[in-house]
Structure 1
Amino acid sequence: MDRPPHTNRALSNVFLSQGIYFVIAGIWPIINMESFILATGPKQDTWLVEMVGLLSISIGLTFLVASLRNAPLPIVLGYTVAVSFLVMDVIYVTSGVIPRVYLLDAAIQLIFLTAVSIFILRKPR
C-alpha cells in the first residue's frame, strides 16, 4: 500500500516517538502532581500545569494516531508545538523562572525538529 504524501516509515516513527513522549509528559502531572513538582520545581497554578498536560496528551494522541494509521502526518502541528516548547523552555530557564531540568525537554524538542527536518528535506531515491 502506498503511503500518503509527506509520510514515510522513518518520519512516522519520529512522530510515534514524539507522541509517546507527549502523552507520558502530559499524564505525569495529572496522575502525580507531587512527583512532578519535586522534579520540576514549585508551581503557583497547578490547574495551568494540568491544562498543559491535557494539551500535551491531546497533541501526543494526534501524533500516535496519525503514525499508527499511516495517515498524513501533522507536520505543521509537529513543528509549531516543538518550537513553542523549545522556545519557552530556553527563555524561562535562562531568565531563572524555571529550573534547568526543563532544558531536557528543550533538547528532546530540538531532536524532534532536527529529525523531522532531515526526513522532509531528504530527497527520495
Structure 2
Amino acid sequence: MASGRRAAAGPSCDAAALARAHGVFNVLGGAWPLVSMRSFEWVFGPKEDEWLEQTVAGLLVAAGWSQLRAGDSAAGREHARRVGVGTAATLLAIDLIHVPRGRLRWTYPLDGAMEAAWLLAWWRTRERRADGARR
C-alpha cells in the first residue's frame, strides 16, 4: 500500500527526499575540513593553501544548506536540483581532471564516484512537464 502511494507521488516526492539527502551530504562534507583540517588532510592529503580548502568547504556548506531549505514545492525542488547538479558536476570535473595529473590523492576518485551517483540520482528524478516531456 505504501509503495502504491509513493508511486502515485512520482518523482517530485523523490526529488524532495533527494534534495534533503544531498544537502546533508554537502553540509557534512563541507563542514569536515572546517571542523578538523587535520583529519581531512589525513584522508585527502595535505593542502598547500588551507584558506582555499576552507573557502570551498564554506561554499559546500552553503550549497547544502540551500538544498535543505528548498522545501517541497516544485520551485524549491528545481532550485535544489540546480544547486545539486552544479555542485556535483563541478566536484566530479575537478576529480576527473586533477587525479590523473597527480595533483589530488587517490582518495578523490571515491568522492568522484559519489558525485557521479548524485548526478545519476538527479537525472533519474527529473520531473515531467504538463506535455509529458522531461525537464
TM-score with structure 2 setting the length: 0.79
Deviation at 1:121, TM superposition (A): 6.1
The equivalent residue for 1:9 is 13
Aligned to 1:109: 115
Gaps of 5+ in 1: 1-6
**Amino-acid identity (%):** 28
Structure 2 distance, partners of 1:60, 1:77, is 8
CA RMSD after TM alignment: 1.8
Correspondence for 2:47: 43
The answer to whether residue 90 in structure 2 is matched with residue 84 in structure 1 is yes
Matches within 5 A, 1:22-61: 22-61=26-65
Where does residue 70 of structure 1 map in the other structure?
72
What secondary structure does 2:47 align onto? coil
Amino acid at match of 1:57: V
In 2, distance between residues paired with 1:23 and 1:77?
13
Q: What CA distance in whole angstroms lies between the structure 2 residues aligned with 1:107 and 1:35?
A: 21
Aligned residues: 116
| Structure 2 equivalent of residue 96 of structure 1 | 102
Candidates 102, 107, 124, aligned match of 1:118:
124
Per-residue deviation at 1:76?
Answer: 2.2
- Unaligned 5+ runs, structure 2: 1-10
Using the TM superposition, give the Cα deviation of residue 15 of structure 1 relative to its aligned residue in structure 2, in angstroms: 1.4
Q: Is the 8 A contact 2:89 2:115 kept in 1?
A: yes
